[in-house]
Amino acid sequence: MSGGVALATDFGTFYPPNITPDNVHGIGFWSQTEFNHAMRHGISPDGDPYYPSFPYTSYTRMTDADLGDLKAYLDSLPAIGKATPEHDLGFPFNLRYGLHLWQWLNFTPETFLPNSHQSAAWNRGAYIVTGPGHCGECHSPRTLTMAMDTGVHLQGNEAGPDGEQVPGIDMSKRNQPWLLDDLLFAIQIGMTPDGDFFGGSMAEVVENTSQLTAADQHAIATYLANPEPPSNP
Amino acid sequence: MSVKSLLAGVAACLLIAQPTVANDAVTEREDRMKTLGSEAKTMASMVKGRSAFDADQFSFSAESMADAMEGMLDLFPAGSHGGDSAAKAKIWDNWEDFSAKNQAAVNAIAGLMNAADEGNEKAIKKAFGMVGKSCSGCHKKYRIKRD
């Protein structure tokens, strides 16, 4: 959690910051309000907008309760006094004030709205996938202005981070949709229906998804079998 | 034919043979990976409950996996990446770690063989999960992502 793992993109290299409770290099001095504002509005306690490499565009849907739990967990970790490199971006993307324009064009803070026509599991899955799980950030293509393209939500991205081709995970749009237990296996142990095991960044994702509760894993699979874009994108 | 030209000829053959050896290794390791995947698929189908649970089948599949892993490291001669190969160049910069991950897979498969021989369904499914974890552990770092 002390940051620094490089994320290479077309715009340059992003270095995630230290989010341990260190008072100098981490976020130990943040209040819950500042933390929630960063997560849901993409604005730092100093009032600076964040690059969308920090997926507040998804986290914006997280509930107060989850953000409270998340901060409590981060606060419980050991503080690590380690500085992380500045993002290394080309012109004009290195000009942070340009992000005000980007946010104005592409981002509206929102809350998660359940779909009353769907089951509780489907809605739970929708919340995880479009909120804290931020699956669409890699699994959806981007628009010309690099916003997540919710019109083709979760239908894959030819140009993902680190030059990876990211497959579509909206099973209703695939020629050979994975069944519910295929999806479960993928997020539980990282196995595809043909017996292969994920490599690259999805293998890292599975290190996390494998630790979710069985009910949450089931909810994600239920939603991905027939997802809908966020109701208020 | 002078000795010199003979030697030159031998040297040329060696130079030509070099990439072929690497290509053979790539083809062979990819075939082995397909075997591993196909056995994983067979076992997963039982874990998912799509086919009837059969401890003997787990024994058979685990043994086939163990065979496929036999000498796997030899199929990664230095520099056999690039082209259509999904192997990352950093395998050879981190050979010790790569070898350790290979051994972890060999051990996990041995664990699965033991569990399968003992026949306890729950233990077998758990051991199968460990095998999967060892596959992912290596793919995560050393395989180029594919769809």
Q: Taking the CB of residue A48, how many other CB atoms lie within 10 A of it?
A: 12
Contacts with B, A 172-191, CB within 8 Å:
181-182, 185, 188-191
- Name the strand (E) or helix (H) holding B27: helix B3-47
In a domain, B116, yes or no: yes
Taking an 8 Å cut-off on Cβ atoms, the answer to whether A195 and B144 are in contact is no
B40 occurs within a structural domain? yes
What is the pLDDT, as a whole number, of residue A155?
93
Query: Chunked in runs of 10, what are the mean pLDDT values of chain A (233 residues)?
Result: 82 91 93 97 95 94 97 95 89 86 91 94 97 94 87 88 84 92 93 90 90 96 93 55
What is the token pair recorded at B92? 């050879």
Average pLDDT over residues B91-98: 96
Handedness of CA A190, A192, A198, A204 (dihedral sign): negative
Question: In terms of CA atoms, which chain A residue is nearest residue B126?
Answer: A189
CATH number at residue B125: 1.20.120.10
B20 within domain boundaries: yes
Q: Which residues, other chains included, contact B19 with Cβ-Cβ below 8 Å and sequence gap of 6+? A: none
Chain B hits for A205, Cβ within 8 Å: none
Mutate to test the interface with A, among B135, B138, B141 (most CBs of A within 10 A): B135
Q: Is the pLDDT of residue B10 over 70?
A: no
CA distance A166 to A170: 12
Residue B147 lies in a domain: no
A185 within 8 A of A176, measured Cβ to Cβ: no
Percentage with pLDDT > 70 across chain B = 84
pLDDT at residue B112, as a whole number: 97
Answer whether residue B95 is part of any domain: yes
What pLDDT score does B123 carry? 95
Whether A167 sits inside 8 A of B147 (CB atoms) is yes
pLDDT band at B23 (very low <50, low <70, confident <90, very high): confident
Name every chain B residue with its beta carbon within 8 A of the beta carbon of A165: 145-147
The residue ranges of every structural domain in chain A are 7-106, 120-225
Whether B17 is covered by a domain: the verdict is: yes
pLDDT of residue A39: 97
Identify the pLDDT of residue B78.
Answer: 92
Q: Is pLDDT above 80 for B113?
A: yes
CB atoms within 10 A of CB A191: 28
Q: How confident is the model at residue B120 (pLDDT cuts 50, 70, 90)?
A: very high
A208 touches chain B (CB under 8 A): no
Q: Would B53 be classed as within a structural domain?
A: yes
Q: What is the pLDDT of residue A233?
A: 47
CB < 8 Å from B in window 116-175 of A:
164-165, 167
pLDDT in tens, B58-73: 999 999 999 999 999 9
pLDDT reading at B54 higher than 70: yes
Q: What is the pLDDT of residue A57?
A: 95
What is the pLDDT at residue A7? 86
B18: closest CA of chain A, how far (Å): 29
pLDDT at B6 over 80: no
* B83/A65 Cα distance (integer angstroms): 49
Query: Which residues from chain B sit within 8 angstroms of residue A200, using beta carbons?
Result: 139-140, 143-145
Q: Is the ipTM of this complex over 0.85?
A: no
| pLDDT score for A90 | 86
* Cβ-nearest to A197 among B39, B50, B136: B136
**Chain A residues within 8 A of B32 when measuring between CB atoms:** none
Q: Which residues make Cβ contacts (< 8 Å) with residue A208, sequence separation at least 6?
A: none
Task: Assess B144–A contact: CB distance below 8 Å, yes or no.
Answer: yes
Residue A133, CB half-sphere, CA atoms under 13 Å: how many?
A: 28
Q: Peptide bond preceding A92: is omega within 30 degrees of 0, i.e. cis?
A: yes
Number of separate domains in chain B:
1
Answer whether residue B89 shows pLDDT above 90: yes
